[in-house]
Copies of this chain bind each other. A is one copy, B any other.
């Protein structure tokens, strides 16, 4: 089927997936580009493919073709690359021994980069506070480089409750604290652990900070106040994965 009009109801609904509200309602989201679409397919979250007319990609999935103006209408990119995937959100639950908890991360690039690093360093579950930038924001998805399909990610309204539960289940809770922490280089690495990382401007809130069992800092030159949160999270995960 070829769609050539931006007034078509189906096309308008696909376009609406660029808004968080409609993604939340439908549990669907868009990904763009061959690499991401193929990763989505391999990870069983691809529902439907939107292709520029007269192009092809070898995937066994329901496909709709669109004209260039329709593609531009749907796409989030300045230069659409002709391949858009409609994906379904996965339903996940907390599992595993290595958990990362993100409190109110706002920058899509930071969230996507953390997701990418979390796969690299064997994180089992990523927990996002409900005030975190939307996981299905196109910039987040691009920055994950496809790792969003591989990671077990849950969104949680009440992080305090979740952390208390983890403590009862013998997870050691780590967070960063420049003043009263121990150097990351010398920190004891527990088998069951969760790491809380905070918002770009404000860090971890006091109420979550108080729940931690271990405080750590990354040794650095005193001319630098702090690292980018995706960098800091990645260095901690790298070190704890040794």
Report which A residues bind B (CB closer than 8 A).
109, 113, 116-117, 119-122, 143, 145, 147, 150, 185, 218-221, 223-228, 230-231, 234-235, 238, 241-242
Contacts and interface: CB of A to CB of B under 8 A. Distances in A.
5 contacts: A117-B227, A120-B224, A145-B226, A150-B223, A235-B235
**How many copies of this chain sit in the oligomeric assembly?**
2
A224 B143 contact: no
Contacts of A116: 224, 227-228, 231
Nearest to A35: B225
Contact of A235 (B109, B122, B224, B234): B234
A41 to B, nearest CB: 16
Ordered nearest first, which 8 A-B pairs have the shortest CB separation? Answer: A120-B220, A120-B224, A119-B224, A231-B234, A113-B228, A235-B238, A122-B221, A109-B109
Contacts of A113: 228, 230-231
B228 A228 contact: no
